[in-house]
A and B are shown apart, each in its own frame.
Chain A
Amino acid sequence: MNALVMGFILTVAALVQAVVPAPPWLGQAKLPALAAVVVYYTLARERRDWLWAAIMAGLLQDGMSLIPFGYSSFAFGLLAIHIARFRDVVFVHESITHMLFGSWMAAGSTLVLYVLLTSTGLIEWTVGQAGHKAVGAAALGLVATPWIFYGCARLDRLMGLVESTDSSWQELH
């Protein structure tokens, strides 16, 4: 059931990310829906789940774009490992946490992908353009991650995959 729900969440996130246009004034950054899902799994679920989520989200992103297979999985995995280090020292159910980590995941994965794609000659972006895109991704991550986090958590609770014992979470939503 867990894999099924994760597959459903990732598919919906990929479709949303593909359909929503990239605003040019945000450096053509796309809505980081897949990155937000990885943030949810990293903060709210166990290690095995978030590692799988990072790899599958990356494969979906690469499969639906011109990025070679594995690049996005590596970027998401790297950022997820970094975010997981802070799990025990932050309030994982607070919206501000989701905003900050969503922003960091979106900007960080953009920069990691920029390094990988330019080093292999697949794109010809300048550092300035990549920086603009990373800032745009961070802004979109800041706004979108709390909503996506909330949606994922609701679905997981609905399916009985997590228990809603956290009082602060209930108070907040």
Chain B
Amino acid sequence: MNRKNKTIWLILAAALLVALNMPEALSERGKSAIREFLAPLQQLVSGVGQASRNWVMAVRNLGEMAADNRRMATELTRLRSEMRYLAALEQENIALRSQLRFWSRAERELIPAEVIGREISGWWQVVRIGQGLAAGVEADMAVVTPDGLVGHTLNVSTGTADVRLLADPACKVAAWLPRADAHGVVAGRGLSARGLPLLHMRFINKDRTIRPGDEVTTSGLGGTYPPGLLIGHVEAVTVDESGLYQSAEIAPAADIGRMTFCFVVAEHRDPVETLLRERVRRGGPTP
């Protein structure tokens, strides 16, 4: 090995050592800077891509537009009447809760966000959205589409946030089967060869009867996901090898693979509760 080659190897080894031992805060700051720098460009590129896709779709579906309009008008009418009914129910709910002196549920706000890019390395099921700290997005907030839950926020910078999708093996959600009144944990299993997200629900009580088609929602346990968000539907049920619990394959309700727009669920928590959650997360003392 000649002298020049040795120098290059030494530079590379030193760079790796520095990178591996870099403090997390510094590393995060560097990543944030790169994300912020590239976010407008990513937004532009994905916007152009989306516009051209929409244009092609519009041309292709020209004949179906009138039928779609009629269908959407009917849907709108139905949803409006449903909203009026739900508003009345909510009033009644508030009145009953106040009579029973129940704590009111945290107020939820939906922050709309556009998907501006997908994870560049392909090792994780993560997308980047064009809303960040400036819009009130924080780490560990649930992300939904009108169809159902898609994941939770991960790294947040001023104008962007990474969303870990349900299909990612590291994404675990405390779930509930309302019909069977059974709890479990939904975890991602990546994508199938056809690109469909694979979800698996484990630790379901073996004495409960689970059927294909059963709805799966978030249970609210664990804190990240508020209760009642639709995750998907049961496709198949199996009993674990140990015989201690049941498992189920879940078909996600939201179209995770083609998602271009989503909503971050921001819960306005009590400041004291937020402080306590933060302390618990850090493993510190609680009063």
Which residues of chain A have a CB within 8 Å of any CB of chain B?
A: 11, 14-15, 17-19, 21-25, 28-30, 47, 51, 55, 59-74, 77-78, 81, 113, 117, 122-125, 129, 133
Contact = CB atoms under 8 A, between A and B. Distances in A.
Q: Which of B34, B170, B192 has the most CB of A within 10 A?
A: B34
Nearest to B164: A66
A19 B119 contact: no
A117 B120 CA distance: 15
Interface string B113-131: 0000111111110101000
A63 B34 CA distance: 6
Contacts of A64: 34-35, 38, 117, 119-120, 128
Contact of A24 (B20, B170, B193): B193
Interface residues of B, number: 45
Contact of A17 (B9, B120, B162): B120
Closest CB pairs A-B (n = 10):
A70-B19, A63-B34, A30-B122, A65-B121, A18-B117, A64-B120, A22-B122, A24-B191, A24-B195, A74-B16
11 contacts: A11-B38, A23-B195, A63-B34, A67-B123, A68-B20, A70-B16, A70-B18, A71-B19, A73-B19, A81-B9, A81-B12
Contacts of A71: 19
B15 A73 contact: yes
Contacts of B123: 65-67, 113, 117, 122-123, 125
B20 A70 contact: yes
Instruction: Tell me which of A19, A29, A60 has the highest count of chain B C-beta atoms within 10 A of its own C-beta.
Output: A19
Contacts of A22: 118, 122
Contact of A66 (B8, B11, B126, B191): B126
A68 B30 CA distance: 11
A161 to B, nearest CB: 22
Interface stretch (B41-49, B59-67, B139-147, B263-271): B41-49
A28 B34 contact: no
Nearest to B49: A19
A123 B125 CA distance: 11
Given A65-B119, A66-B154, 19 more contacts: A17-B120, A22-B118, A22-B122, A30-B121, A30-B122, A55-B15, A59-B34, A60-B34, A63-B30, A63-B33, A65-B121, A66-B155, A67-B121, A69-B19, A77-B15, A81-B8, A113-B121, A123-B123, A125-B123
B124 A66 contact: yes
B19 A28 contact: no
Interface of B: 4-5, 8-9, 11-12, 15-16, 18-20, 22, 27, 30-31, 33-35, 38, 41-42, 45-46, 49, 117-124, 126, 128, 154-155, 162, 169-170, 190-195
Given A15-B45, A19-B46, A24-B195, A63 B122 contact: no
Nearest to B4: A47
Contacts of A129: 190
A11 B37 CA distance: 10
Contacts of A11: 38, 41
A7 B169 CA distance: 34
B26 to A, nearest CB: 9
A70 B154 CA distance: 20
A136 to B, nearest CB: 9
Contacts of A123: 123-124
Given A19-B42, A68-B19, A62 B31 contact: yes
Contact of B191 (A14, A28, A51, A72): A28
Contact of B45 (A19, A25, A55, A63): A19
Contacts of B38: 11, 14-15, 18, 63-64
B16 A18 contact: no
A15 B41 contact: yes
B118 A18 contact: yes
Contact of A63 (B35, B46, B117): B35
Nearest to B124: A66
Contacts of A60: 34
B15 A69 contact: no
Contacts of B11: 51
Given A14-B38, A24-B195, A133-B122, A69 B45 contact: no
